Structure 1
Amino acid sequence: MKAFYTSFKVFIKVMLRLYFRRIRIEGIENVPKGVPLLITPNHQNALIDPLIVGAFIPTPIHFLTRSDVFKWWINPVMKWMNMMPIYRIRDGYSKLALNDEVFAACKEIFRKNGSVLMFAEGNHGREYFLRPLTKGAARLALQCQTELENDLMILPVGLNYFEHRNPQSTVLVRFGMPIRVRDYLKNHDEDRAKGLIGMRDAISDGMKATLVIPEQTEDYELRKRMIFQEQNEHLSFSQLKELIPSQSQDEVRKKSHHRIAKMLNPIPFLIIHHFIMNTEDVVFHSTLKFGIGLFAFPLWWIMVFLLLWFAVGINIAALAVIVMILGLFYSYQR
């Protein structure tokens, strides 16, 4: 199981580097070592979010994942990827009790100084600012810390995407300052409700510090449009934070139909297009492109290679596949 996770992590890291034009990591030195760790990223891009954090953080991670994605046919793979179901009210009140077992499993992971990732917002959305947090992460942290000898740390992570839906864009990953859960135990012991809210607010503040646009303001749409432009992708986190929208020029992104890639790889693009057209939640579009592409493009290239090998020879077959691969990545360079 460990070998599968390690191999899968390396594979996903390489694929993410190919899918995104640039993945910039800041604050990696803030990641605590040798302590139990609860990781709380913001959630803007469906399954892409945990893949990025899991691939680029040095420690193995166990992921708390919405229960409705666990199906009998994929459960073994989910288990090998260190994923555990978390139940929400929308899954039914009767299932909320199952979270006790999940929290117990997290507690055992923390006892071994392991790491757990949980999306504190509780859902996903395309907006760049932090949405209101649920009490789930705070409750998990406080309950586990009461039975742990070591200090449980919470690590806020900010995923700042320049483009949510399309490949060959840039994402800036900012690891924030760790939060020591034990510092909030006294208030929680005195008043559980207020202590829980205090812990939640501390997590919220830590997460906001990792986001270029932490809150929704009156000029949010202007700031989003002016800051997250291709011309600003080279700027550091602090430089983006200091950027004044009025000083930026409104960039008109060139529309690219990726004709070369689609002409050379028609079947994978048709498959991806089919799934996207049947998925109303646009937050999943990037995940579909990445996930389906992981299998559709290699299978297409293998099929074409084998057909051409038997028809005209291995040299032409190899050349054709190389041209298809180069055409795919060239056409997505803006």
Structure 2
Amino acid sequence: MKYEKWSPGYWVLKNIVRFADFIIYKQIIINSKEKIPRDKPILFAPNHQNALSDPMAVLLHTPYQPVWLARADIFKNKIAAAILRFMKIMPVYRIRDGKDQMANNDTTFNNSIKVLKSNGALALFPEAAHSGKRQMLAHKKAVPRIVFMAEEKSDENIDIHIIPTGIYYSSYWKFNRTVIVNFGDPVLVNDYLEEYKNNPNAATMALREKLYEEIDKLTINIRSKAHYQDFELIREYYGKEFLNKQGITYSPTNLFKSDQKLTNQLDQLEEVSPDKIEDVVNTVRAYQKILKKHHLRNWLVNKPANNTLKIVLNKLALLAGLPVFLFGFIFNAVPFFAIDKLVRAKIRDVAFWSTFSLVLGILIFPIVYLLELWAVSGLLPGIWFKLLFLVSLPFAGKLAFLYYILLRKTLGRIKLLYLKMFNKNEYSKILDLKKELFAKLDALIKA
């Protein structure tokens, strides 16, 4: 296979998946795309937290057909190997795969050089594994070794540009989530070549550290081991308050940057003031416990004064949107819930949930839609009505999901109003705990 050549089959698959992504995500935000050079060989180096969703986040939103390098053991099955190669994924062999297999890397590196010489794009995860957390793993040496080897094996300097890439998800697997992809300033391999000639190991380590620093700037990286989940809760509960405290207008990108600042300060405070962090952690856990006890979410408590009006407005919206919900639910519920239940039951690693949901969705939904079209085609006059019905199904499904979210929010507001009216002590306790938590954080965190 000529990996450096543009593939029409890859282009078709890419656009099918891009449409699926459009349905799955609430927002897809791409920042600093202009930093990717068009006339240079490049290697994308993203953080890795969410299995197949991570390469999708890169390849669907750049003009390239990136060639990914992946561990060789996933190529053992012949059918899987054929599919992976069609998707422009090449195997990299490691010592654990057997010393006799290492020579096969020559083919991979030769193909990599061809891609780079044609000003194409390679892609490789520096962590070499996904974490499933907002927590970057230690980087391996694979990226530096590959780019240095490519430069060595090339008969001329090919001037490789490594693009540090940060990927952030509002949720790793929930439907209607947000993804932010941040591209950083290119790291030039040429800057390290002289050192590599004199001391290959030192150059490899220096480039690895540089990439870690650059990717760290582009993602949320909670370093704490003891309080990772606690810091995630603080980010969820206090994040928008901290953004407002800085006088910054809300946007997903602004909130992301503010959350970076917040979590970095929490990590630093854990090192210098562990007692203060323990006190805040105890408070956030108490606040979480009482919210769970009453099946409430933090955002409900943010503006309790507006709750009654919101309930009335939400009920009106739910009444008006009921026909759309029923249409979308009837024709999408079976495949949606079947896939969700199957993935949750069979896939143990949560980081793979979104991957399997995407693949099963692309395979199953079109079949179900065609069967539904066949079932109702006798009721639809003319080819255009049939086509309109078919095209409307995925959009109606997404609208039905948004209706469901609005319904859940309305029920949550009713729960809070009920608590305010009939259990004032618990209601006051919730507000007091939140006030106490925010006061402690206001005193510790610098805007």
TM bucket normalised to smaller:
0.7 to 0.9
Aligned to 1:328: 397
The reply on whether 1:173 has 2:181 as its aligned counterpart is: yes
Question: 1:43-122 alignment to 2 at 5 Å?
Answer: 43-70=48-75, 71-122=77-128
SS in 2 for 1:85: strand
Counterpart of 1:289, as a letter, is S
Partner of 1:200: 208
* Aligned counterpart, 1:162: 170
Do structure 1's residue 23 and structure 2's residue 28 form an aligned pair? yes
Shift of 1:242: 3.2
Confirm or deny: 8 A CA contact 2:222 2:228 kept in the other structure. Answer: no
Secondary structure of residue in 2 paired with 1:102: helix
Once residues 106 and 115 of structure 2 are traced to their aligned partners in structure 1, the CA distance between those partners, rounded to angstroms, is 14
**Partner residue of 1:292 out of 352, 360, 370:** 360
Aligned mates of 1:102, 1:115 — CA distance in 2: 14
Q: Mean alpha-carbon deviation: is it higher for 272-281 or for 148-157? A: 272-281
CA–CA distance in 2 between the matches of 1:177 and 1:10? Answer: 27
| 1:19-55 C-alpha deviation (Å, 9 max, x unpaired) | 1111111111111221111111111111111111001
Task: Output one character per residue of 1:190-247: Cα deviation in whole Å (capped at 9) or x when no partner.
Answer: 122222111211111121111133644665433333335796762424333334778x
Secondary structure, aligned partner of 1:8: helix
Rounded to whole Å, the distance in 2 between the matches of 1:280 and 1:86 is 26
Higher helix share: 2
TM-score with structure 1 setting the length: 0.85
Cα distance change of structure 1 residues 90 and 252 upon mapping to structure 2, 3 Å threshold: farther
Distance 1:124 1:219, change over 3 A: same
| Runs of 5+ unmatched residues, structure 2 | 1-5, 241-249, 267-279, 289-296, 301-324, 406-447
CA-CA distance at 1:92 after TM superposition: 4.1
Q: Which residue of 2 aligns with 1:136?
A: 142
Structure 1 residue aligned with 2:38: 33
Q: What letter is aligned with 1:52?
A: A
In structure 1, the residue corresponding to 2:79 is in which secondary structure? coil
Q: Could you report, residue by residue, the CA deviation over 1:46-105 in whole angstroms, capped at 9, with x for unpaired residues?
A: 111111100112223111133343332244443332221223455444434322321221
Amino acid at match of 1:234: P
Alpha-carbon separation, structure 2, partners of 1:61 and 1:317: 37
Counterpart secondary structure, 1:33: coil
Output the CA distance in 1 between the equivalents of 2:63 and 2:236.
28
| Higher gyration radius (CA) | 2
SS at match of 2:91: strand
Matched residues, number? 328
- Say which structure, 1 or 2, has more relative contact order (CA 8 Å, 6+ apart): 1
1:240 aligns to what? 259
Q: Please, which runs of 5 or more residues in structure 1 have no aligned partner?
A: none
Distance 1:294 1:194, change over 3 A: same
Give yes or no for contact 1:16–1:52 (8 Å, CA) kept in 2. Answer: no
Q: CA RMSD in A?
A: 3.1
Counterpart CA distance in 1 for 2:186 and 2:91 is: 25
